[in-house]
Amino acid sequence: MDGLVHNGDGKKAKLHGRAFYESIGSPKVVVAPMVEQSEFAWRLLCRSFVHTSPSTSLSPLHAYTPMFHSKLFHTGQKYRDACFQPLKMPLPDPVDPYHISQLPPSSFHLDGNPSIDRPLVVQFCSNDADDFVKAAKYVTPFCDAVNLNLGCPQGIAKRGGYGSFLQEHWDVISSIIRKAHEELDVPVTAKIRIQETREKTLAYAKMILDAGASILTIHGRRREQKGHNTGLADWSHIRYIRDNLPPETVIFANGNILQHEDIAACLIETGADAVMVAEGCLHDPTIFAEPPKEGEEGDVYWKGVDGKRGYRVDAVMRRYFDIIWKYALQTEPPNRKPLWVPGAPEIEEETTSMEELPHKNDITPSATDTNTTVTTVTTTSTPADNNQQPPNKKRKLTKSERKQDAQTKNPNLTAMQAHLFHLLRPLVAVHHDVRDALARCRVGDMRAFENVLRMVEEKCAEGMREYERDVRASSTQQETQIGGKGEQEEVKDNAAQLAAFEADPHESSRAAVERCRRPWWVCQAYVRPVPKEAIERGAMKVGKKELKRLEREKEGLERSVGLKPGGRVEVVGMSGEKKGEGEVSKNGAGEGKEEVEIPREGVVCG
């Protein structure tokens, strides 16, 4: 589906709002648009863990492309071809939708491929209606809708005048969405952040919907909530918007999704139609998947005796590499031995040696696509001893290597290293040799990346073997806790965890950390410290604007209970006589007096 429906006269009419949402299968989960991180290979990896009905080619997992710059997209062919690769040839200029519709299935390549990458929304940042529409016309034959980014809070968005820094310019936003709604063949949608008050966000949302947006995604954080000040998303704010818009309005909620269970909780608390996940799926691309049924875990899913469970990082990483080989490089993946499984015998199978893997220069452009510049590269890592110590000083890239990296434009290859550092974050915190090997990998050097995969598989097998030994040892000693902890220690630990769960999530991230913690060989969420913790650790300082906001909140609280903002403390004698601060009664210090806070005049407290 592409957001269109055939009329009786043979022409296509564009669907809108809930009709459009239902036409793409009414998905409940969505991969968020992330700059250089929600590219085809990662979207396909996330989709691969979600069951698709045999009766449809539409995945139940909806997805967005990374954010593209609208002006660069419609004015620069190199930028366009590097970002978006729907065909096994460069995008025609101009795009002829009828010509595209007549192409055979074999002509389609990666982005928006009807058989593997739908439903799909292409996101642009823009502050000009003409730029947005011109850019969108290049992608409409290959997607179900386009999206206007109104949520990016980064400095580059502020300098460029787009993303969340358009939220004060309602006339510009309205003109972009209205023009796109009137002129494009597919629906237009928008993604926003909440504003200072619920009423202001509601008015903002109504303006966007009235201009013609079919779906509104609401990120439950304000513009200033980023970096160490990210904090928690406000689901109740999203709920207010949902309850005060017409029922037929399609709302996606975004924020606070750390684990699969959070998706259902978010749907209930916000009343949204679907949940969009961003950072959560970078650290755990299996977050959208239901756990396998008992006995169907295979070699990809791990279960601990304490109830902790999840998909293995080595299995997920292997599946990701297979997607890179098969789709991005159009080459068969190398033969690999089966992953180690507890209790399974060791099996020696013929595998592809490191020397047999092709260099970048061995993969010809015709074997990949014309959008990828293939250059010769010298491998900087070898299948040498994994225990080899890292160099004392990190080696700088040569000018030639930097040039080669820059020339490799395939977004599925350029994103690999960043994705793996997200996925392997708990593992590389323990195994620094894996971290150093991954850091040395260059864009497109699949030998180096395959070497990291082998190291990861070996580390995961070692970790699970050690875990199994601890389980057997604890069983023999008839202790309830792995690692030699006795019953009293277990009770103390449980009490500490219970206390952590009772903590205010805005004050401490400890409860979330305990909830999400898994062994390092299992995919798991990264829990950001809340702002208060970041300040205590010295990672963040409170800015002047934040201090003023906190002061306003304090004053508002004081007024709500009838206190004078900034108030004063007066010492009042038992007879009612006021005494100055620090003044001592004739009867002696502290005798016959008390300190009270005086309400503001004219306010009745009750």
**Positions marked catalytic:** 152
3-class SS of residue 572:
strand
Instruction: Report the alpha-carbon distance of residue 80 to residue 371 in Å, rounded.
Output: 10
Residue with tokens 């071809």: 81
Q: Is the peptide bond before 94 cis (omega within 30 degrees of 0)?
A: yes
Q: What are the respective helix, strand and coil percentages of the chain, to the nearest 5? A: 40, 15, 45
Instruction: Report the alpha-carbon distance of residue 163 to residue 151 in Å, rounded.
Output: 5
Angle value at C-alpha 280, between 222 and 312, nearest 5 degrees? 170
Going by C-beta distance under 8 Å and a sequence separation of 6 or more, which residues neighbour residue 64?
A: 30, 31, 32, 33, 38, 120, 121, 122, 123, 147, 276
Instruction: Report the alpha-carbon distance of residue 411 to residue 42 in Å, rounded.
Output: 10
User: Under the phi-then-psi rule, with left for phi > 0, alpha for psi from -120 to 50, and beta for the rest, what region is 190?
Assistant: beta
Q: How many helices (H) and strands (E) does the chain have?
A: 23, 15
| Partners of 301 in the β-ladder | 311
Distances (CA, A) of 534 to 124, 279, 317, 323, 542: 32, 19, 31, 38, 10
| Partners of 535 in the β-ladder | none
Length of the chain: 606
Residue with tokens 């309850």: 243
Nearest to 167, CA basis, from 154, 187, 149: 149
| Partners of 121 in the β-ladder | 64, 145
Supply φ then ψ for residue 541, to 5 degrees. -110, 145
Instruction: Report the alpha-carbon distance of residue 410 to residue 41 in Å, rounded.
Output: 11
Neighbours of 206 (CB within 10 A): 16
Q: What letter does residue 395 receive in the DSSP assignment?
A: P
Residue with tokens 């011109």: 134
Encoded tokens for 289: 């998947």
3-class SS of residue 338:
coil
Report the Cα–Cα distance between both ends of the chain, in Å, rounded. Answer: 61
Instruction: Report the alpha-carbon distance of residue 228 to residue 24 in Å, rounded.
Output: 36
Instruction: Report the alpha-carbon distance of residue 500 to residue 480 in Å, rounded.
Output: 22
